[in-house]
Amino acid sequence: MKPARLTQTISDSLTTLRKSERKVAEFVLKDPLAVIRMRIVDLAQHAEVSEPTVVRFCRAVGCNGFQDFKLALAQQLASSPSYGQIAVTDQDSTREYTHKVFDTTVDTLLKVRDSLDLETLDAAIAAIYGAQRVEFYGFGASAAVAFDAQHKFFRLQITSAAYADPHLQNMSATSLHPGDVVIAISQSGRSQALLDSMELVKQAGGIVIGLSPTGSPVARSASISIHVDAKEDNQIYIPLSSRIAHLAVIDVLAIGVAQKKGPKLDEHLMRLKAGLASLRSPV
Amino acid sequence: MKPARLTQTISDSLTTLRKSERKVAEFVLKDPLAVIRMRIVDLAQHAEVSEPTVVRFCRAVGCNGFQDFKLALAQQLASSPSYGQIAVTDQDSTREYTHKVFDTTVDTLLKVRDSLDLETLDAAIAAIYGAQRVEFYGFGASAAVAFDAQHKFFRLQITSAAYADPHLQNMSATSLHPGDVVIAISQSGRSQALLDSMELVKQAGGIVIGLSPTGSPVARSASISIHVDAKEDNQIYIPLSSRIAHLAVIDVLAIGVAQKKGPKLDEHLMRLKAGLASLRSPV
DNA sequence: GCTTTTATTGTAATTTTTTTACAAGAACGC
DNA sequence: GCGTTCTTGTAAAAAAATTACAATAAAAGC
């Protein structure tokens, strides 16, 4: 049977493997990413052994042959893409940091996607769908996320607002009606002003949907807490991937609500699109 | 270049594929998990086509052959184990459209990453670095991108502003000095008001960096044009992935400028972080 | 509506790649 | 040191993928 973590099995077997097979193992561990693109001859050459030795190595680590081994390795690497180094250093060329920015973002998105709790999402969608008013609160980088979200939900014919000002948040919060929804967005999950606003929302009978890291004060305080754990390796500079993860989560919420709204919404969006056309350059 | 999300590419190509190739595509989409354990003969048999047709199909979806195809498929399935249908219908479950949203976003990001022109990016970074003032203009969904960008560059100690109001844009544009930079963000690349503002910026001697689709009016009008071709998803009329691509591109610009600024910036960011701490909840 | 042309698909041969069988050589025990 | 066992490589066979080409189907032209 195939082990879950192939590289783990390989390093575990290192001691029991024969000398030549160990050469293969070491090479595989050193550069697994390269191995999945190799043919058996290439790997044999790089590890300085013969081809049958490679096959024997594959069998020794529980695979059914070389192809099977490559497949298993590829799968593992795909699920933990953090094999390449992602920290941004000063000497990076443009090409390199461009790739790093995009790759870290992709990495974060996939991690968040897999860690999302679907029932929570469903609950959040239902709450938004049932609300008279939907508001988005966030500060700093999350303020931009809030405005983006407001724009999106506005297009879905939902009465929505976005506030990055604690005074406005508080004023608006106290005027909410039971069943109304506030989406509190925080990358740190520790913004005191946001926590204060959330408290007012709850006092007014509103539902607070939190978008914040697991276990953070915002997450704990929210009525419905969507956990977004985009741990930033390069937090030193600026928040990068986490706000993109927030945007993506909001996209999911928007689509969920859009689906609940059904076909009537399509017509509305069509008209909206037609209306926008007049603001556009013909070519 | 290998497509990031293979199944996505396959369903996209469904219409352009030949009849027999489509049979292969449909079978692969129906049961991708089985395919990765198959040899080419098996797949040919199941799809009721010949083996060369399978190879042709693999090439048609951007792979280098059958092995390459299987590897790419295996990698994708590893990161989304319960992969089923990709076609979007109204009946999509939460799980499905969550995946769909994240996957298309990832797909877009990787496509944009590979299509970015590095020299243009370098030119843009140099222009921003050399400017006294940097402003971001955008409407609608791009307005949120502009505000996010403003926030980011503000943290890099760059005098920056973001305007989503054409009047403010125009007023600000006329007050720019030669060498100042405006980043014009547009998903459609066809916003007339934005084109007007850009004209004023150029008259004032400012440099316009455009973030828009290739060949669009905004792209043609910009002094430095960064092409972002994020083919927008048909089914929903809300901009989804493209604005995330814009954000990522701006991240790249920010990091580029940050590097040019060098170590002094680090100190500044440290102080900034310390300042923010007081606004945060202790736990 | 028939002929010519082009595009699509499958058959068969070729090439590539992996695996097996076996023998040479090294390590170990006696 | 000799025989045994274990390890590794060579070479042949098997399996798999790919290419070349021909047959057929579809489309365009007359």
- Mean pLDDT of residues grouped by 10 in chain A (283 residues)? 59 77 83 82 85 86 84 72 42 71 80 86 92 93 91 86 94 93 92 92 94 92 90 52 87 83 59 57 58
Q: Do the Cβ atoms of A106 and B102 come within 8 Å?
A: no
Collect all residues of chain A within an 8 Å Cβ-Cβ radius of residue B112: 102
Query: What is the per-residue pLDDT for B61?
Result: 83
Instruction: Measure, in angstroms, how far nucleotide C11 C1' is from residue B43 CA.
Output: 18
Q: Do the Cβ atoms of A190 and B283 come within 8 Å?
A: yes
State the average pLDDT for chain A. 80
Query: What is the per-residue pLDDT for B283?
Result: 57
Question: What are the residues with a C-beta under 7 Å from any atom of nucleic chain C?
Answer: A 39-41, 51-52, 55, 58, 64-68; B 18-21, 48-53, 56
Percent of chain A with pLDDT over 70: 81
- B145 C-beta less than 7 Å away from strand D: no
Q: What are phi and psi of A188, to 5 degrees?
A: -85, -30
What is the rounded average pLDDT of the residues B22-48?
A: 84
DSSP β-bridge partners for residue B224: B209
- A59 C-beta less than 7 Å away from strand D: no
Q: What is the pLDDT of residues B88-111, one digit of tens each?
A: 444 457 777 788 788 778 878 888
Of the residues B247, B250, B257, B264, the best mutation for testing chain A's interface (the one with the most A CB atoms within 10 Å of its CB) is: B247
Helix (H, G, I), strand (E, B) or coil at B236: coil
Number of residues written out for chain B? 283
The shortest CB-CB distance from A251 to any of B101, B118, B192 is to: B101
**B4-13, B86-95, B137-146 — most confident range:** B137-146
Q: Do the Cβ atoms of B143 and A147 come within 8 Å?
A: yes
Strand D: which nucleotides have any atom within 7 A of a protein Cβ? 6-11, 15-20
Strand C: which nucleotides have any atom within 7 A of a protein Cβ? 7-12, 16-22
Distance CA A10, CA A7 (A): 5
Q: Do the Cβ atoms of A236 and B266 come within 8 Å?
A: yes
C-alpha distance from A2 to closest chain B C-alpha (Å): 13
The shortest CB-CB distance from B102 to any of A248, A269, A280 is to: A248
In one-letter notation, the amino acid at residue B46 is H
pTM above 0.85, yes or no: no
Q: Do the Cβ atoms of B240 and A252 come within 8 Å?
A: no
Distance CA B232, CA B258 (A): 31
Helix pair B66-79, B6-13: axis angle to 10 deg? 120
Distance CA A155, CA B239 (A): 10
C-alpha distance from A236 to closest chain B C-alpha (Å): 7
Query: What is the per-residue pLDDT for B82?
Result: 37
Of B129, B146, B230, residue with least CA distance to B185: B146
Please count the helices (runs of H) and the strands (runs of E) in chain A: 14, 5
Two tokens, residue B154 = 């503000």
Query: What is the per-residue pLDDT for A87?
Result: 45
Q: What is the CATH number of domain B6-79?
A: 1.10.10.10
Q: What is the pLDDT of residues B171-209, one digit of tens each?
A: 999 999 999 999 999 988 888 999 999 999 999 999 999
- A18 C-beta less than 7 Å away from strand D: yes
Collect all residues of chain B within an 8 Å Cβ-Cβ radius of residue A105: 109, 248, 251
**CATH assignment of A117-275, given 3.30.479.30, 3.60.9.10, 3.40.50.10490, 3.40.309.10?**
3.40.50.10490
**A36-40, B78-82, B219-223 — most confident range:** B219-223
Of the residues A40, A86, A90, A94, the best mutation for testing chain B's interface (the one with the most B CB atoms within 10 Å of its CB) is: A94
How many other CB atoms are found less than 10 A from the CB of residue B33?
13
Kindly tell me the sign of the dihedral angle through the C-alpha atoms of A164, A166, A172, A174.
positive
Q: Where are the domains of chain B?
A: 6-79, 117-275
Q: What are phi and psi of A134, to 5 degrees?
A: -125, 130
Q: What is the pLDDT of residues A202-245, one digit of tens each?
A: 999 999 999 999 889 999 999 999 998 876 544 444 556 788 88
Q: What is the pLDDT of residues A103-125, one digit of tens each?
A: 778 878 888 888 888 889 989 99
DSSP β-bridge partners for residue B183: B136, B209
Q: Do the Cβ atoms of A75 and B76 come within 8 Å?
A: no
Collect all residues of chain B within an 8 Å Cβ-Cβ radius of residue A140: 151, 276
C-alpha distance from A64 to closest chain B C-alpha (Å): 11
Q: Do the Cβ atoms of A36 and B71 come within 8 Å?
A: yes
